[in-house]
Structure 1
Amino acid sequence: MDFTIPWHAIGIRAIIFFVVVLIGLALIVLPLPFAIILVGGTILLLLALIDPIWALYAAVLSVPIQDLILLPGEISITQAMLGLVAVTWSLHVLAFKEHRVRAGRVLPALLVFVWVLLLSSTFTDYSATESLKETVRWISVLLIYLVALNVVIPLQRSAIGMAADLRQSWRAVGLILCLLLAPAVNAVIGLRQFWYADGPPSFAIAGGRFVRAYGTIGQPNSFAGYMNMAWPLAFAITIGILWACWHWLQARGSRRIDLQMWSLLISPLPFLLLSIVVMSGLLLAALLASYSRGGWIGAISGLVGIIAAFGLIAGRSMRQRLLAGMSAALVAVLLAFVVGSAGLLPNALTERFQSITDNLRLFDVRTVQVKPENFAVVERMAQMQSAWVMFLEHPLLGVGPGNYTLAYEGRAGVGILPYSFHPWYASRGHAHNYYLHIATEAGVLGLLAYLLLLGLLIAQAYATLLRVHGWFWQSVAIGSCGMIASVAGHNLLEHLHVLNMGVQLGAAWGLLAAMETLTTMEQDNG
């Protein structure tokens, strides 16, 4: 018998031995916090080198804590994870050249959008550095999208059809859990802040009894945007769980169905699904506690997206029920606005409902007398009106990505006047409407490129929705449609492409494309 050990096996064992010794020394010599960080980082690095999916998971989970943990050189933990994703995935692409890199339907629009941002950065009259920083943020989104699309798909054939196949598709399930877990933990933090009034005085509501939830994100509106990037997915899966349970109850007379359900009940699957149901409730509660007008409008848009997606795959009778449900929901929303406007709800909610309609009204800030009750509305309109003037003077390529504040305050250099209106001299960093904001910073080319991106995202969602089968994966596809609609609606009053939240979006977009690819592979293989 040949007892010789291959050289590559000896090398792997030597590396493992070296790592174990290094971890042991770290635990003995270093203070506990540093030792934990070193050990955790080492384990993550090894896992990421073995499979880049772990680096992707870490990047998604790092978004809520990006400002809480800073590495040497003022590098955020999310930036470090993005670097780890780029390096490990590049190594795997080079190591497995026989596996082609998949692009998906959305990549052309992302490339066009990044190209327009680079073009605008080249010709900006303001800071090229700020423009490049903003462009790099979108390059990060492109990277995460590509990595998610390619690493979620395993090298071997994988089923993505029935709920019982979840263990075979652990990569996709793991990414779904990361997309929900990080926002859900942040939702718990935000709900605690809301209930105990733990926040700045400017966030106070109901006479100071509560504060608007802001989590680790720092701002209630951005926090609400983060919730809108997760709750549609959790909510759609929750509805799918209820639908599957109802069908099981209808068919429980069959012994075969009972045996299948028993095998599932003794597996980790029920705990997994129950956790998603709980996360759905937490995310929606935190969104409500944020008291974000844009967040609530985004939530309505997300609900419409979920209903529309469900209608595409539902049967005729179900569509009729869906139409009735949509009509009832529309009546409920209108009734809520009427009741809120009539002052029949608590004062804090009444004022919030009234402010939504105020923020949808256009006016010239130069003709309005500023009062305490209209201060926030007028200030928001001042930012938008200034952005509109910037766009009119720089219609093709805008003032440059990331240069809204410099142009607004006139801080680019001698001879460049600010675009602000008296007395609104301080910029809020964005135009309170992303479509206007991107037109301001990247011109009409940037706006068209962004709309192209939205269009291809809708096309990708539609294609995935029609291809996937099985209640779980259909629920994920429906939830992804709701997420796209929610962000698109919320962006009417906010700018959600900030704070590296693009990592969450890019991963969700890549997952959506990967689901279509996996289903196509399954069908091609018979």
Structure 2
Amino acid sequence: MSTWSVALLGSLLALVLVLIAWPVGMVLASGVVFVLAVVRWPVLLPLGLILSVPLQDVVRFSFGGIAITTTQAFILLAILLGPLIVLRRPTRLFYPGIAVATTALIAIQVLSLGIAQNTLYAVATIYRWTAALLAFLLIIHLVESRRSVVVLGVGLVIAALGEVAFGTLQSALGLAPPSFAISGGWYRAYGTFGQPNPFAGYLEMVGLWLAALALWSARLAQRLWGRYRRVRLGGFLRSRSTRRAAIGATVLASVLVAGALASLSGIVLSFSRGAWLGTSAGLVTFVLLAPRRLRRSVLVVGAVIVGVLAIGGWSELPVAVRERVTQLVNYGRPFDVRDVQLTDANWAIVERMAHWQAAWAMFLDHPFTGVGAGNFSVRFPDYSPHPLFRIARGHAHNYYLHALAELGIPGLLAYLAVFALALLLAVRVWCTRHNEFDRALAGGALAVTTAIMVHNLVENLHELHLSMQLFSAWALVWRAQAGWGTKREAI
């Protein structure tokens, strides 16, 4: 861009800021700058879309009385600019199996509009899944270098640190609703997501993925320092480039480790039983993928921890932790809520089981069509087996039952197909690619997918655009399989 163009652009932005009232003028000026940046660097579009997820309820814009979240603004921008940018590029278009399965799931949701009692709820569900598909397609077409993935990783570290810092303040200072209170005067952290479970789900998706990249960057730093020690024998100046690369890899590894550890800390502070279970499943996936020697060491350490807990260490854990773990075990025992005397102690368990049984009843009445996308809460009063539970908590507390209730057998099969194809893709890349960075992306995606599949047994992690974060991990694995447009020797 020439000097005159920059001067003209600066003048126009200044006029916008002066003539249009704040904050609309600032928003428009920022939007213009970002659009121009996207035209110059298209990769900013999918990266901005993914990084906007934790900010969606923090920054809102109001136009004509309509409130638009940050993520919705990025989605609108992606819809308008994405096709134009992708179509004008010389590379051919791709539509992988994950996209096909997701399209089939969306098509089933669209067909369910005919039976949905509340069409707006159905459209909202379709919109969220379409946004996830859009993020997937933009990443596989516009993220063409490993360096862009590293930039995304650093951005996610910043997002994770911000979320956990905010969540820690909420937990320690009691900046939360009374219902989030737990033993010991602590409160469940919920960050910018409004609820502890989606907060923990987001950190699951981010933290496990960052952990995989952290392991890769740590090994890279180790190799580079070894190379530096050899090259250093030839002179200080001669080893300058290797030294810089080693320092850069060390700094990157430290940043990624900080993001991963912060995410795990936030998951603990959320006191989300489902997140604890899902994260454990993700960590087990890492252990299974680890080299044999490391895997044995981890198993030995795990056995020692179990032994310590068995001989009395369990009683030394904080009361809040022991209570949450005990409740998690109780949640796994099915029972008929109509045969239970409701008390303060079992209220949460009975409420969750009532949602499960209502979802199953919806499926039995509508096995092939369901009650319509997004309409579980609408139909819940008609199917709740307990007279005290007539208002749904938004979902069935088990996404597999939720899919059966809303979309029937075809919807569940399409949903499972999406995850099956994602797992197969990650396993294929892990087994066939020799580049450690690509294998790290595959390992991170495997851990994240496993964690979400387990966590979804007691939760719905496809709200609040969390699916965009999940689909981004899958898209990067597909990109690694297809090959990168720009390859860096250091990566």
Give the TM-score normalised by structure 1.
0.84
1:191-228 Cα deviation digits (max 9, x unpaired): 221122221111112242x2111000000111111111
Residue 116 of structure 2 contacts residue 122 of structure 2 at CA under 8 Å; is this kept in 1?
no
**Does residue 213 of structure 2 align to residue 221 of structure 1?**
no
Change (3 A) 1:291 1:335: farther
Relative distance call for 1:453 and 1:172 in structure 2 (3 A) is same
Is structure 2 residue 272 aligned with structure 1 residue 286? no
Q: Which amino acid in the other structure matches residue 447 of structure 2? A: G
1:393-429 alpha-carbon deviations (Å, 9 max, x no partner)? 11112111100010002xxxxxxx4545211111101
- Which of 311, 324, 328 pairs up with 1:352? 324
Distance 1:443 1:15, change over 3 A: farther
Q: Relative to structure 1, is the Cα distance of residues 380 and 334 closer, same or farther in structure 2, using a 3 angstrom cutoff?
A: farther
Given the alignment of the two structures, is residue 300 of structure 1 paired with residue 280 of structure 2, yes or no? yes
Q: Among 351, 366, 389, which residue is 2:361 paired with? A: 389
Q: Which of 173, 184, 195 lines up with 1:196 in the alignment?
A: 173
8 Å CA contact 2:131, 2:468 repeated in 1: yes
Comparing 129-138 with 430-439, greater Cα deviation is found at: 129-138
- What residue identity is the alignment partner of 2:182? I
- Of 32, 51, 76, the residue aligned with 2:69 is 76
Separation (CA, whole Å) in 1 of partners of 2:473 and 2:384: 37
Please name the residue that 2:84 is paired with.
91
Tell whether 2:420 aligns with 1:455: yes
- Comparing 319-328 with 218-227, greater Cα deviation is found at 319-328
Q: Which moved more, 1:352-361 or 1:460-469?
A: 460-469
1:409-424 map, 5 Å: 409=381, 417-424=382-389
Amino acid of the residue matched to residue 449 of structure 1? A
Q: Is the Cα–Cα contact under 8 Å of residues 60 and 182 in structure 1 kept in the other structure?
A: no
Displacement of 1:334: 8.0
Structure 2 counterpart SS, 1:106:
helix
Is there any run of 5+ residues in structure 1 with no aligned partner, and where?
1-8, 159-168, 312-317, 410-416
Q: In structure 2, the residue corresponding to 1:101 is in which secondary structure?
A: coil
Question: 468-477 or 448-457: which moved more?
Answer: 468-477
1:363 and 2:335 correspond = yes
- Name the CA shift for 1:338/1:348 in 2 (closer, same or farther; >3 Å): farther
Supply the distance in 2 between the matched residues of 1:13 and 1:395 (Cα, whole angstroms).
65
Aligned equivalents of 2:369, 2:11: Cα separation in 1: 56
Residue by residue over 1:5-63, the C-alpha shift from the partner in whole angstroms, topping out at 9 and shown as x without a partner, is xxxx9xx8776444211222244455665554333222111112333321212211211
% identical aligned pairs: 31
Amino acid at match of 2:295: L
CA contact (8 A) 1:435 1:491 kept: yes
Conserved 8 A contact 1:105-1:460 = no
Match of 1:67, as an amino acid?
D
Aligned 8 A contact 1:64 1:217 in 2: yes
Distance 1:15 1:330, change over 3 A: farther
What's 1:232 paired with?
A: 208
Going from structure 1 to structure 2, the CA distance change for 1:116 and 1:27 (only over 3 Å counts) comes to: closer
Residue 499 of structure 1: aligned partner: 464
Give the match for residue 401 of structure 2: 436
SS of 1:229's partner is helix
Q: Describe how 1:164-203 pairs up with structure 2 within 5 A.
A: 169-203=146-180
The equivalent of 1:150 in structure 2 is: 141
Cα distance change, pair 498–127 in 1 and its aligned pair in 2 (3 A): same
Alpha-carbon distance change, 450 to 334 in structure 1, aligned in 2, over 3 angstroms: farther
Contact residue 468 and residue 519 of structure 1 kept, 8 A: no
What secondary structure is seen at the aligned counterpart in 2 of 1:254?
Answer: helix
Shift of 1:273: 2.7
Answer whether contact 1:105 1:513 (CA < 8 A) is retained. Answer: no
Native 8 Å contact 1:106 1:460 kept in 2? no
C-alpha separation in 2, matches of 1:246 and 1:182: 27
Give, in whole Å, the separation in 2 of the partners of 1:425 and 1:41. 44
CA positional deviation for 1:180? 3.8
Give the 3 Å change call, closer, same or farther, for CA 343–376 of structure 1 in structure 2. farther
Out of 51, 63, 66, the residue aligned to residue 56 of structure 2 is 66
The code of the aligned residue for 1:441 comes to E
The answer on whether the counterparts of 2:220 and 2:249 sit within 8 Å (CA) in structure 1 is no
State the 1:136 CA deviation: 1.8
Tell me the SS of whatever aligns to 2:342. Answer: coil
Q: What SS class does the counterpart of residue 75 from structure 1 fall into? A: strand
Post-superposition CA distance 1:336-362 (Å, at most 9, x none): 58868x644221111111101011110
Within 2, Cα distance between the matches of 1:18 and 1:384? 60
Per the TM alignment, residue 519 of structure 1 is displaced from its structure 2 partner at its CA by: 5.7
CA RMSD of aligned residues (A): 2.7
User: For residues 83 and 458 of structure 1, what CA distance do their matches in structure 2 show?
Assistant: 30
Task: Give, in angstroms, the shift of residue 125 of structure 1.
Answer: 4.5
Q: Give the residue type in structure 2 aligned to 1:189.
A: F
Deviates more, 1:103-112 or 1:210-219: 103-112
Question: Given the alignment, which residue of 349, 357, 365 partners 1:377?
Answer: 349
What's the counterpart of residue 490 of structure 1?
455
CA contact (8 A) 2:278 2:453 kept: yes
Note if 1:22 corresponds to 2:15: no
| 2:244 match | 263
**Closer, same or farther: CA 334–224 of 1 in aligned 2, 3 Å:** farther
Q: Counterpart of 1:47?
A: 37
Deviation, structure 1 residue 379: 0.8
- Tell me the residue number matched to 1:326: 299
CA contact (8 A) 1:140 1:503 kept: yes
Moved more, 106-115 or 433-442: 106-115
What is the deviation of 1:257?
Answer: 9.7
Query: Corresponding residue for 2:126?
Result: 135
Deviations for 1:454-479, whole angstroms, at most 9, x for unmatched residues?
A: 11000111122234444444323212
